[in-house]
Every structure is written in C-alpha cells, then in structure tokens.
Amino acid sequence: MRRRRHILITLLAALICACALPAFAASDDGGLRSVFALGAGNRALGLGGAYVAVADDASAALWNPAGLGQLERRRAEFTNTNLFGMGFSEKYLAVAYPHWRLGNASLTIRTFGVDGIESRDDRNVLLGDDLKDQELEILLAYARVLGPGLSVGGGFKLQRQSLAGYAGGGIGLDAGVLVYPLVLRGAASPAARAWSLGLAIRNMVEPSIRLDAESVPDPRALRLGTAWRRPFGETLKGLVALDLEKTAGMDTRLHLGAEVDYRDQAALRLGVLAGSLTAGLGLRWRDVIVDFAFEDHPLGAVKRLGVSFLHGPPVDQVRADALARATAERRRQMERAFAESERARREQLLVSARQVHRDGDHAAALDRIAMLHMLDPGNAENEALEREVLGDLARQQEAAGDLASAALTLGRLAASAPAGAPVHAELKRLRGQSAVSAKRSRDIDALYARGLDAFVADELDVAHRLLSEALELAPQDADILSMLDRIRLKREQQLTTVCGEARSLVRVGLIEEAEAAIGRASAMGAPADTLSGLRAAVRERQQQLDYERERRRQEQEMAAQLAAINRDAPQPSEPEVETTTSQPQLSAGRRQELAALSSRARELFDAGQTDEAVRLWEMVWSENPDDPEVRDALREEYLTRGMAGYAAGDLAGAVRVWEQALRVAPDDPRTQGYLERARQQQARIRALQTSDGNTVGGVR
C-alpha cells in the first residue's frame, strides 16, 4: 500500500512540474503529421492525450485499439468543434459495439475542414478567397481480450483529402496492446486492475495521399503509456496517466493527465499535451455523458463540447444471459436425450419382464414391473402385465396347494381392481376354500382375512397382531403359521434394506442421513452388533471427511497467502474465506476453465464418448458441486447406467451406480426410489437364499 502511495505522489509531482514548465513543448511537426494525429474524444484530450493505457471509451480506437476490449456497453460519442475562429472546423463521431463472444468493434468518422483559403497566382495576385480543404478519416477497429489482464486490438483506416479541385486518399493500419500486469501475475482482486500499461502503433501501415505531383505519407507514431487508478474513500476515484509519443521525424512528446471522479457522475481533469495545458469536465446523467475539454493551444484557446450515449446491458450481463440460454437449451437437449435413453431402458425392462414371465419366474417379473411403475407411473401396459402375472402366479400357487400364498397374490390383484370385479369373487372363493381346508371357525377366519388384508397393505404390525390372535385360537393352522413366517421375513427384508441404505449413505458421505437410517434400523430391532458396525463406519467416514475438509482449508489458506505475497500486500487480519466451508472459492479464471471442461464433456457425450464425458464432469463436479448442469448430467447418466444394469440382471452393479447418483444428488427422489427398490429386492433374494440356498430369477 505504501508503494502505491509513492507511485501516485511521484506521478502527480511529475504532472505539476510539467505544468510549471512552459518551455517543455516539443518541436513542431513541420506539417509532417496529419491533422488527425492529435486524436479525439474529450475525456482523452482533457487528460492531455495521456490515454494509451486508459482507452476505455468509444475513442479508444484512436489512442489504443486494444482498449476497446474494456468496453462493457454499446456507446456512441459525438463532438463538433470550431477551432480558433479562423474557419477551422472539426467533427468526430464514434460508435462502439462490444460483443461477449465475438469481441468488441468500433467505427470512427472524423472530418476536418478549412474554408476561406485565398488563391493567388505566381505573381501573388489574389484570384479568390473561397477555396476549401476537406479531410476525412474513417477507422474501423476491433479488439479482443486474450485472457485476464491482456487485450489486443487493431484498426483499418481510410484517409481522404480534397483541396482546390485535387483529391486523393490512402489506407493505413493501427495496432495496440493493453496489459494489467498484476492481473497477469494471477491477482484476482479489483485492486489488481489499478495499474495498466499500453502500447499503440499509429500508422503501422502509413496512409499516403497524393494530391498533385507527390505522395505525402502520414508518418508512423509509437505510443507507450501507463496509468494508475486509486479510490479515495467510497465516493472518489483518482487516475494518473503518462504517455510517451514518438513520431518519425519528430522529437518525443510527453503527455500527462490526472482525473478525479465522483461516483461516476462527475469528473475533473487536468493534463499536459506537448507543453500545452489541457483541462476537462465530465457530467453524467443516467446513460448520457457530457464532456467538455479545454486546450491552451499556441494559436488560441480550443474548447470542445461533446456528448456520449450508453445503450444496452453490460457485456457481463449479456454474457450471463446468453450462457443461461445456452445452458437451458443444453439442459433441454440433455433432458430429451436422457428421456429417450430412459424410454429405451423402460422398453428393455418391459421385454425382460415379459421374458421371465414366459419362463415362469413370476417373482422376477413382478420385481421388474415394480421398477417399471417407478419409471413410468400409471402406464396402462405395465399395469396390464402386472395383472396378468399376478393372475398366473395365483393360479400356480393354488394348483400347488399353497392357498395362503394364492390368497395373498389375489389380494394384491384385488387391491387395484374395481369393486365387483371377478377377482374379488375369486379371492372370496379362495379364502373360503382355505378356511374349509383348515377347518377354521368364523371368528378365526375373520381374523385371518383381516390379517391378510393388512399384510397386503404393508401394515406389518397390524397383520402380526391379528394373525397372532388367530394363532392363539388355532395353534395348528398351517396357513396362519406360514403368514406369520412371511411377516418375519418381510420385516427382516425391510431391516436389511434400511441397513443397506445406511451403508450407502455412509459411503457417499451423507453422515446425517446415515445416522437417521441407523436410528430407523434401531427402532426396527436391528441386532446390536449390526448397529455397532454401522456406527463405527459412520465415525470412520466422518473422520475422513473432517480430514479432507481440513486439508482443503489449509490449501485454501496457503493459496490466499501466496496470492497476497504475489500482490506484495500485507496479509489481512482475518481470513478472507470461511474456514467452515468444505469447498474453496473458485476464481473467475478457474470457473471459465471448468465451464470449458463442462462444454467439452457435453460434446463428448453427444458424440457417444460417455465414459470420457463422465470423467470430465466428475472433475468439474469435484471442484464446483453447485453447478446444476454438471450435477444433472452426472445424475441422469448414473441413473441410466443403473437402469441398464438392473434390466440386465446385475442388481449389485445397479446399486453401486445408483449410489454414485445419490452422491451427486442426495435429495433426488428418483435416485432414492430406485435404490430403495433395489435394496428391497437384494434383501428378498438374501432371505430366499438363506432359506433354500438358491437364487431367484437368475438375479445375483
């Protein structure tokens, strides 16, 4: 901070000394330069032409074309000046158009005219006094930001002059570079843009105009400048600028300027232009800026009054809006692609359900149909297939003499059938047959029927109570014993599902959700050793997360310290970042890099290279988990892959992939539903394997 103050004081002192030395003027150009060499734009002229490292308005093309890259809004400037009261006139018009993607461009038109010129013959006899000299310059410029702190630009110009019936024209090229050294070194704070350097070459290709016998070129000029900006409190901003200009055939000229700005509403300027004092005043009202410039020219005082108009939103807002539209369109495309993929998976799952149904594996068919209900609720085709499978299963169970299972299956079928449907009559017949076969009394049969209904409705506690009462009245009833055993197996299945959920949540780092799942497992009567193992896994995972969080915090603090050292500034008394956050703040440059990686991943995904796309998305998500596009892309791809594994019979693989989706989107209801269904099926398979040592439906 002290060094910055010294630089500011030094530049101000240089400006004051220059103003105090009237003999500082450079040698006259001897008519070598074009009248357009002075430049235009009242702010620049009020700063004594010390503008090559500032160049942040529509006149930038005349001083340093690279400065156009700084423009944030569309801008038009106009000035009309009568010079010295001797028939000289000057007009200046510039229009600048910044574009967030294509770069910034401007068109500048300048005219200079003199009338009342005397015409004399070789004997000095006055022939007339109405000759005119008209000069025109049209400049088309373009600039582009190559990276943080660096922009380049160039301009193509056309010059034309007409005098006493003679006319000629020429073309030329300008070029420039604008640099913010501190930004180039990696500093990201607003203060890093305080210091700038500019280099501009006017007439890199010299325009040459021939009116009569000889061509007269507009000589090349090199400008090198620096500028320093400094806020003074919350309302004032200061600017000091210095330029050195070297034109072929002329001495080096010095340009100095200083400006004090109040809330971007009013500005006072003072400058030195090759020994001549300049001054300026700028006033702004909304999007209209009025600038006044004064020059103490040797031929007389020059006063210029100009107006500027700003139009449209800032480039950053336009960029954000355009990116938001592009992101929304990509998201719509992604949703359409994933919807098509999901439709194909549903069709594959439906074909698989029909196939295992034809093979007689009704349980596997019902599992696939249950997943189809999750993917496509209310689909009539899925419901029709489920009714068909349940009907076949009930008939198979009845033929095997398992009346209790047949009654349960018909109960499931009757639950979704309208009143009076044939299935209700069939269920009544089957339950009556079961009661006759077991020789149950009316009271026992009523308890049994209510227990079955409760079991079908997944009210296991109610079903257990009713069937236990029925068993007390009929201790030898095989159907009641079988149903109680089913209730026990289903409870174990649910407990296994909840424990599996807790393990999955621990693996993906959702500690609070995992602890809640362990609490549900405890309430369901999970064994003590199971609960102890789950809690130990939670503690271990929490330690890992704490270690990773602390490591990221230390890396973030180290990065902040290095950035402060690079800025050559003292460390703040308090950390600039929250130490409680687990995710470091990303710089604007890094966000742009991650956005480019995300776009590349989208291109790879569209080209069918899904593995590489997922790898890039995972890289982006690890640094910026709040990016909705990346999060949605990973979630949908993992869901799709899980469905593919499920349809192919790889239940364990589907669970692993869906856990990745849960890691990315913990609150997504589809992911939670898929995992819950898959864990239930895993628990049922384990229960059946425990009872008979066989697998079900080929699903492992």
223 CA to centre of own chain: 39
Question: Is a pLDDT exceeding 70 seen at residue 689?
Answer: no
358: pLDDT strictly greater than 70: yes
Amino acid at 40: A
- 8 Å CB contact between 700 and 678: no
In a domain, 432, yes or no: no
Residue 685: predicted pLDDT: 62
pLDDT at position 10: 45
Q: How would residue 117 be classed by pLDDT, with cut points 50, 70 and 90?
A: low
Position with higher pLDDT, 393 vs 256: 256
Average pLDDT over residues 450-477: 80
pLDDT score at 618: 86
* 127: confidence class by pLDDT, cuts 50, 70, 90: low
Distance CA 586, CA 580 (A): 16
**Which of 113-127, 139-153, 610-624 reaches the highest mean pLDDT?**
139-153
- Confirm whether 174 is domain-assigned: yes
pLDDT band of residue 314 (cuts 50, 70, 90) is very high
> Tokens 């700028």 appear where?
282
Residue 262 identity: Y
Can you give the pLDDT at residue 536? 87
What is the pLDDT averaged over residues 634-644?
Answer: 83
Judge contact between 17 and 256, C-beta under 8 A: no
Q: Which residue has the higher pLDDT, 138 or 635?
A: 138
pLDDT of residue 106: 97
Q: Which residues pair with 699 in a beta bridge?
A: 696
Residue % of the chain over a pLDDT of 70: 81
d(CA 322, CA 312): 14
Estimate the crossing angle of helix 588-606 against helix 610-623, to 10 degrees. 160
Handedness of CA 130, 215, 111, 275 (dihedral sign): negative
pLDDT at residue 421 is higher than 80: no
Q: Which residues pair with 140 in a beta bridge?
A: 107, 156
**Arithmetic mean of pLDDT, 322-331:** 76
Q: In the structure, what pLDDT confidence band is assigned to residue 683 with cuts at 50, 70 and 90?
A: low
Res. 244: pLDDT tops 60: yes
DSSP string, 637-684: HHHHHHHHHHHTT-HHHHHHHHHHHHHH-TT-HHHHHHHHHHHHHHHH
pLDDT at position 215, please? Answer: 77
User: What is the model's pLDDT at position 480?
Assistant: 79
pLDDT at 380 over 90: no
Looking at residue 622, its amino acid is S
- The structural domain count of the chain equals 1
| Residue 576 in this model has a pLDDT that exceeds 60 | no
Compute the average pLDDT of residues 163-173: 85
In a domain, 107, yes or no: yes
Quickly state the pLDDT bin for 389 (edges 50, 70, 90).
Answer: confident
DSSP 213-258: SSEEE---EEEEEEEEEEEETTTEEEEEEEEEEEETTS--EEEEEE
* Strand 236-247 to 208-210 pairing: unpaired
Which band of pLDDT confidence, cut at 50, 70 and 90, is reported for residue 455? confident
d(CA 378, CA 386): 12
* Count of C-beta atoms within a 10 Å radius of residue 608: 9
pLDDT in tens, 584-594: 566 666 777 78
Q: What is the pLDDT of residue 334?
A: 64
Whether residue 583 has pLDDT greater than 80: no
Predicted TM-score (pTM) above 0.85:
no
Residue-level pLDDT at 71: 94
Confidence tier at 234 by pLDDT (50, 70, 90): confident
For residue 686, the model assigns a pLDDT of: 62
Q: Comparing 474 with 220, which gets the higher pLDDT? A: 220
Average pLDDT over residues 403-420: 75
pLDDT at 574: 41
The more confident residue out of 8 and 405 is: 405
pLDDT band, very low/low/confident/very high, at 125 (cuts 50, 70, 90): low
As beta bridge partners, residue 216 has: 209
Q: Which residue has the tokens 């005349």?
A: 62
Number of Cβ atoms within 10 Å of the Cβ of 196: 25
For residues 691-695, average pLDDT: 42
What is the residue-averaged pLDDT of the chain? Answer: 80
What residues make up the domain containing 140?
2-117+127-312
Q: Residue 48's domain is classified under what CATH number? A: 2.40.160.60
The alpha helices in 439-477, defined as continuous H runs, are: 442-456, 460-473
**pLDDT value of residue 126:** 59
Count of Cβ atoms closer than 10 Å to residue 288 Cβ:
11
Residue 265 lies in a domain: yes
pLDDT score of 338: 64
Q: At what angle do helices 362-375 and 315-358 cross, to 10 degrees?
A: 160
Q: Regarding predicted confidence, which is higher, 396 or 313?
A: 313
pLDDT band for 40, please (50, 70, 90 cuts): very high
pLDDT tier at 118 (50, 70, 90 boundaries)?
A: low
Give strand ranges (E) for 42-194.
74-83, 88-99, 103-120, 126-147, 150-163, 166-179
In the predicted model, is pLDDT for residue 495 greater than 60? yes
Higher pLDDT, 17 or 320: 320
pLDDT at 490 over 90: no
The confidence score (pLDDT) of residue 122 equals 65
pLDDT in tens, 266-282: 999 999 987 889 999 99
Alpha helices (runs of H) in 23-132, residue ranges in sequence order: 42-46, 60-63
- Which pLDDT band holds residue 677 (cuts at 50, 70, 90)? confident
- Is residue 393 included in any domain, yes or no? no
The answer as to whether 414 is a domain residue is no
Q: What is the band of 357 on the pLDDT scale with cuts at 50, 70, 90? A: confident
* Cα distance from N-terminal residue to C-terminal residue, the chain: 68
Domain assignment present for residue 109? The answer is: yes
Inform me whether the pLDDT recorded for 150 exceeds 70.
yes
Location of structure tokens 């000057």:
90
Amino acid (one-letter) located at 328: A
* Residue 177 maps to a domain: yes
More confident residue, 153 or 33: 153
Confidence at 567, pLDDT banded by 50, 70, 90:
low
Note the pLDDT of residue 696: 33
Percent of the chain past pLDDT 90, that is, above it, reads 26
What pLDDT, on a 0 to 100 scale, did the predictor assign at position 265?
Answer: 94
How many helices (H) does the chain have, and how many strands (E)?
19, 16
DSSP per-residue letters across 380-424: HHHHHHHHHHHHHHHHHHHHTT-HHHHHHHHHHHHHTSPTT-HHH
Task: Using CB atoms within 10 Å of the CB of residue 129, give its burial: 0 to 12 exposed, 13 to 18 middle, 19+ buried.
Answer: exposed
Confidence tier at 145 by pLDDT (50, 70, 90): very high
For residue 24, pLDDT beyond 50: no
